Structures are given as structure tokens and as C-alpha cells.
Amino acid sequence: MGTAAVVGVGHTQFGQRSDMTLAELAWHAIKEALQDAGITQRDVDYVVTSNVGGWSSEPLPAILVNEYSGLGDVGVMRVEAACASGSAAIRAAYNAVASREAEIALAVGVEKMTESPTLQAVELLGRAGNFFWEFEQFGLTFPAYYALYATAYINQYGAKEEDLAAVAVKNHFYGSLNSLAHFQKKISIEDVMSSRYIAWPLKLYDCSPITDGAAAVVIASEDMARKLTDTPVWIRGIGVASDTSNLSRRQNFLGLASTVKAADEAYRKAGIDKTEAVRRLDLAEVHDCFTIAEILAYEDLGFVGRGEGYALAREGETYKGGLIPVNLDGGLKAKGHPIGATGVSMAVEAVKQLRQQNAKARQADIKNGYALTHNVGGTGHYAYVTIYSLNRPTQS
């Protein structure tokens, strides 16, 4: 396998985007990514579109996106891995380049969730777990799934609801500094604690919103990347894993086993000792669909030991300048969670952080040149962990 790098990124405003169709949103992100890479549609050899769908008018959008964006008759595919679809698209595009099947590949994630009423979107998300057993028999929706994890974690380790709230406060703080975020308003612990319960102990402000948006990345071979840019961002390692559809078959609700396995694979490929990861990484983008999910990620990714994640949130150690800056774009919680676009959006943020292109207030200090993205589908049903670096891999 050869090496591959991200050479261009694009990102739309996230939120309720009734001003654009799905194809228009995708093209906005694609055009920006192509311009960033200094190429045109004719230079792209392969396209991977991430879209979960079901709530929007275009159930099979890949060809529509290609046609609207003027990408011609190149190879194209649509991928779906629930909320991890964006990272799955990046992996497919990366593999096309690393295997030398393509010189330049494009990964685009796009979702128009608000075309459906909120209750319908919530039902469709709930069906993405184990439909016949958990959804039909017990009525579980995704807030309820993660509430099971939150309850188990609080009972086992003594965390408080205020510790979950601290995650929301941090991510809304950084969302207020991100002009592309769905929510750009700071909140307080009191705001979170006084919001209504959705599934105890998770409240409204513990939950990510239903969002529209798109993001795109251009991935190029080493030779092409060096022609296009002086600052390629290398994909150093991608780890992938899954877990049982039925949550009753999980060993416990204190972490996501799929994240642990995916992280181990990504660290190994990137040549990073997991015990050193928190010191090697300059920042992380983790899947905070609910506040408990971010705390679990701290532990599953090896930043701290079991039962210590809530202390990171409580003590502010995941802010810029802390032990490990996490979700400096606002995360899913404030930036938004347009399902198919989320993983690609994480990649855009990681690349811009490593290039030091963000506003100073939310720009991480880049010392080692490594960033991690963590993208979960369902309740750990799918997990993708990707490590990006300014440093070229030493081996192909």
C-alpha cells in the first residue's frame, strides 16, 4: 500500500438548511475542497459519498451529487455505517488512493435531516439499533441507549450529572467560536441542569441536535500531494471495529469495546504507543453525540484510565491548553450532527487544526503534528478511529 494525504477540505454551515437542497449542500463543500486543493472536477478519479438518508427526499444521492457537482462519469459509491458513515467514506477513498487505483479521490458527506419532522427523525435513528428486539419491544431511542451507559457509569464511578454538563458547556463554548457551528451560543452548567430530561440522566443539553450539512476532503497519492501543496496532512492510521447489534449481549455499559479495538489498530498503524497517545496527540475530535459518549471516549481512546474520564471534564482538562484538547470546533453537541457528514467534518477540523488555520481562540497548539478523529455509529455498533499527521509515514 502506498501513502496518501489530505490536500483539500471543504465545509458548509451546519444547521437547519432549508435554503439548499441536498445536492447543493454537497456541491458547496466539494467546490471548497477542490479550490483548497487547487484542482478541478476533471482531476478527481473516484468519489465516495457518505449519506445515511431515510429522512430526506433523496434516498440514493451519490449519482445525483456527482452529476450536480460536475464530477463526470468517474467511479462512485455510497457508503453507510450509521453515524460513522463519514469516516467510512474517508477510509474507502483512502484505500482507493493507497492501493494506487486512483491518484485523487474525493470523500463527501452530506445529510438533510430536517426535511423530516423531529419525531420521525428520532424514530428512524432509534430503528438503527436492534429494530425487532430493542426498538419494537422496548421503545429504545438513541437518547435511551446512551442513558443506559450514563446510568451504569454514574453508578460505577460516582460521576455526577454536573460532570456530563461540563462536556456540554465546553463544547458550546467552542461552538460559539465556530462560525460554521449549528449552535453558536455559550451555555452554563445551570442551563444544562435546568433543561428537561430526555432519558434520565441525559437532558436536552446533553444531546446533539438534528442537523443539515456537508463536508468534503480531497485525498491524493504522495506524488500528487507534493505537487499540489506544501502542507499535506498524511493519513497515518485508520482503525475499524464493530460490536453486537443487541445491547443485551454487551459485556458492560462502561465503555465501547469497538472504540477500544479501533483505537488500538489506529495507534499501531500510526506507530503510537497507546499509553503515550495523550502526550503525542495535539488534539482529538471525538464522537460526542451525547455528553456521556465524550467521557467514555476519553477512556476508550486511552487518554485516561477507567473511571477517570469524568474528572477530565470536571477539571477542564479537555479545553485548549489542558491535558488533551477535545472538540475545539464544538463537537457534535454544538457544531451539529448531520449523520453522513459528521466523520468528514471531523477530518476537515483535524486538517485545519494541523495546518493552524483556525481562529486563535480555538486553535490548538501544534507541537507534535498529530490529530485523532473518533467516529461512532449507533451505540458503538461501528467505530472508526483515524490519525492524521503533518509527518509523512516512514514506511509505505
- 104-118, 131-145, 296-310, 354-368, range with the lowest pLDDT: 131-145
Range of the domain at 29: 4-116+210-228
pLDDT interval class at 396 (50, 70, 90): very low
Please check whether residue 17 lies inside any domain of the structure.
yes
How many helices (DSSP H) and strands (DSSP E) are in the chain?
Answer: 15, 11
Q: Whole-angstrom Cα distance, residue 213 to residue 260?
A: 29
Cis before 201 (ω within 30): yes
Look at residues 344, 98, 124, 391 and name the one whose alpha carbon lies nearest to residue 234.
Answer: 391
Give the model's pLDDT for residue 137: 58
* pLDDT surpassing 50 at residue 339: yes
331 CB-near residues (< 8 Å, 6+ apart): 171, 174, 175, 208, 285, 286, 288, 294
Place of cell 490536500: 7
Please check whether residue 92 lies inside any domain of the structure.
yes
Please check whether residue 149 lies inside any domain of the structure.
no
Please check whether residue 287 lies inside any domain of the structure.
no
Please check whether residue 55 lies inside any domain of the structure.
yes
Contact between 124 and 141 under an 8 Å Cβ cutoff? The reply is no
Where would I find the beta strands (DSSP E) of the chain?
A: 4-11, 46-50, 75-79, 104-112, 197-199, 202-203, 212-221, 233-242, 283-285, 370-377, 382-389
393 is written with which cell numbers? 509515514
Query: Can you say whether the dihedral through the CA atoms of 52, 56, 57, 63 is positive or negative?
Result: negative
Give the model's pLDDT for residue 48: 98
Please check whether residue 49 lies inside any domain of the structure.
yes
Identified catalytic residue from 83, 182, 289, 381:
83
47 forms beta bridges with 76, 106
Number of domains in the chain: 1
pLDDT tens column, 189-225: 999 999 999 999 999 999 999 999 999 999 999 999 9
Give the model's pLDDT for residue 335: 98
Q: Specify the pTM.
A: 0.95
Q: How many CA atoms lie within 13 A of 16 on its CB side?
A: 6
Q: What is the CATH number of the domain that holds 112?
A: 3.40.47.10
Strand 104-112, strand 212-221: pairing: antiparallel
Give the model's pLDDT for residue 393: 81
Please check whether residue 123 lies inside any domain of the structure.
no
Q: Whole-angstrom Cα distance, residue 305 to residue 307?
A: 6
Look at residues 138, 359, 157 and name the one whose alpha carbon lies nearest to residue 255.
Answer: 157
Q: Residue 290: helix, strand or coil by DSSP?
A: strand
User: DSSP per residue over 336-373, as a string?
Assistant: ---HHHHHHHHHHHHHHHHHT-S-GGG----SS-EEEE
* Catalytic residue list contains 337: yes
* Catalytic residue list contains 28: no
* pLDDT surpassing 60 at residue 65: yes
Please check whether residue 223 lies inside any domain of the structure.
yes
Give the model's pLDDT for residue 122: 74
